Amino acid sequence: MELGTFGAIIKFALDIETKIGNFYQTASGIAKDAELVSIFADLIVRGQKRMKTLERVRRENVTEMILEPIIGFESDSYRIDFEIVNDDNLRSMATNIETTLQKFYTTAAIKIDFLIEAAYAFELLAEKNEETIKRFSS
């Protein structure tokens, strides 16, 4: 699906953050590794904050003169597999999720660079994903 408007990008981000929140909720109940459980707990809280951030960005950054179409941004490039096969692959799944999100927000920030505040918010979200990736790999 083409993410052809600012609203479509935010909608996609909200949807994917909701799914990721559900994933971490489920994963935290399955994981045996205490460190992983702790990280997932942090990410559940982070997810709620991110939803609020995205809603605020949507509320505050749309004005009529900047509803110009966005070209060349497809949601298909950011598909995530949420199916948990067993608890052994939770870390790698979570890393994949964070990597995909990091790429999504980085690209989104470039695509909406005409909305400085929104672009900045997306850059910060991408940075947080990067930090989480490091947490998973340490």
Partner 1 sequence: MISELEVTIVTVEVVKNYINGKWVESKSKETRDVFNPATGEVIAKTPMSTREETLEAIKVANAAFDRWRSTPALTRVRHLNRIRDAFEENFEDLVKTLTLEQGKAIDESRGEYRRTIENLECATSVPSLQMGYNAEDIAAGIDEMVIKQPLGVFFCVAPFNFPAMVPTWFWPFAIGVGNTYIVKPSEQVPLSQVKQFEIIHEIGLPRGVLNMVHGGPEAVNTLIESPDTVGMSFVGSSRVGKLLYKKTGEFGKRSQVQGGAKNFLTIMPDADLEKTVPALVTSFYGCSGQRCLAGGVLLAVGDIYEPLKKMIVEASKKYTVGSGLEEGMQMGPLASKKGMEIVLGFIEKGVKEGAELLLDGRGVEVPGHPNGYFIGPTIFDNVTRDMTIAREEIFGPVIPIIQVKDLDEAIDIIHANPYGNASSVFTSSGKTARDYQYRVKAGNIGINIGVVAPIATFPFSGMKDSFLGDLHGQGRDAVDFFTENKVVITRWF
Binding site for partner 1 (CB under 8 A): 3-8, 11, 58-69, 71
CB of 57: closest distance to partner 1 in angstroms? 11
User: Nearest distance from residue 124's CB to partner 1, in Å?
Assistant: 21
Complex with partner 1: residue 8 or 84, whichever CB lies closer? 8
Instruction: Find the helix packing angle between 6-30 and 90-111, rounded to 10°.
Output: 170
Measured from the CB atom, the residue of 6 and 24 that comes closer to partner 1 is 6
Q: CB of residue 116 vs partner 1: minimum separation in angstroms?
A: 15
Q: What is the largest CA-CA distance in the chain?
A: 51
Instruction: For residues 57 and 119, give the distance between their C-alpha atoms in angstroms, rounded to a whole number.
Output: 9
Q: State in angstroms the smallest separation of the CB of 119 from partner 1.
A: 16
Nearer to partner 1, 6 or 105 (CB): 6
Measured CA to CA in angstroms, residue 20 lies from 31, 61, 105, 113 at distances of 16, 25, 14, 26
Of the pair 14, 37, the CB lying nearest partner 1 is at: 14
The residues, any chain, with a CB within 8 Å of residue 80's CB and separated by 6 or more, are 16, 19, 20, 96, 97, 100
